Structure 1
Amino acid sequence: MRYKNFEDIPIWQEAMDIAIGVHTISEGFPRKEDYGLTSQVRRSALSVSANIAEAFGRHHRLDKLCFYYNVRGSLAETKSHLIYSNRIGYVDSELFKSLEERLRIFNINLGKVIASLSKSR
């Protein structure tokens, strides 16, 4: 399906929702983490939707693929920060499991986008 704006792409919408969720969760982190973990997890989560938007702006399939692979990397980085946050007690386990499931489903959908772009010529 062709989209006129990146904001219309369902995977971008989900990425933005995840970034907002991460931002909300990280508001509960200790102030001492403002320039460390809080900043890192927010940046990596926001990078997911930003790279999807950048992929949208590219005209060549291989350029688009490169940005979608960057999305996968930013998603993994975000998950790693959230695992750490959970293990040190900044994020409660139930909330973490809920967000982890959203990330898992997002990753499946991302894989479908990448597979589709990889097959198209």
Structure 2
Amino acid sequence: MATVERFEDLEIWKLARELVNMIYEVTSDNKFAKDYGLKDQIRRSSVSIMNNIAEGFESRTVKRFINYLGQAKASCGETRSVCYVALDCNYIDQEKFKKLYTLSTKISGKIKRFIDYLENYDSNDRIKEAMVEYKSC
């Protein structure tokens, strides 16, 4: 097991960053880029995943971290939902949709397993002081 000392060490944060990069790439396409509302919505929801993981880790208590992880997981659902709209509007093709959907569900599942781990954690110690370790799923 790897010791987590910074949010940048978390696999779920790294995957969320990858998703954000994919979202920014597909929303820069001509059709999608012109739908300012939808483009903004999917960008904000994907960035929210990344930021909630980071903010939760920096909050430094297990209980608060779990709450932020719940918000990150919810943002995964929002991102997937907007992907359906983008697919239905023909802003993305089935292949791009599948990649985004697959990565967002992977992140969501890993967040869920991490929440489960933290909920069974014996203490509400500060994250850094406890040196939380978690198994990559």
Q: TM-score band (shorter)?
A: over 0.9
Shift of 1:2: 3.2
Is it true that 1:117 corresponds to 2:118 in the alignment? Answer: yes
Q: Structure 2 length normalisation: TM-score? A: 0.82
Amino acid across the alignment from 1:17: E
- Name the residue aligned to 1:33: 35
Amino acid across the alignment from 2:78: E
After superposition, the CA RMSD in angstroms is 1.3
User: Percent identity, aligned pairs only?
Assistant: 26
Q: Which runs of 4+ in 1 moved over 6 A?
A: none
Is it true that 1:106 corresponds to 2:89 in the alignment? Answer: no
CA, structure 1 residues 17+30, in 2 after alignment: closer, same or farther (shift >3 Å)?
A: closer
| Matched-pair contact (CA < 8 Å) for 2:79–2:104 | no
- Name the residue aligned to 1:74: 75
- The gaps in structure 1 that reach 5 residues or longer are none
Rg larger for: 2
Equivalent residues in 2 for 1:1-121, closer than 5 Å: 1-28=2-29, 29-34=31-36, 36-121=37-122
Amino acid across the alignment from 2:120: K
Larger RCO of the pair (alpha carbons < 8 Å, separation 6+): 2
Tell me the number of residue pairs that the alignment of Structure 1 and Structure 2 aligns. Answer: 120
Shift of 1:32: 3.4
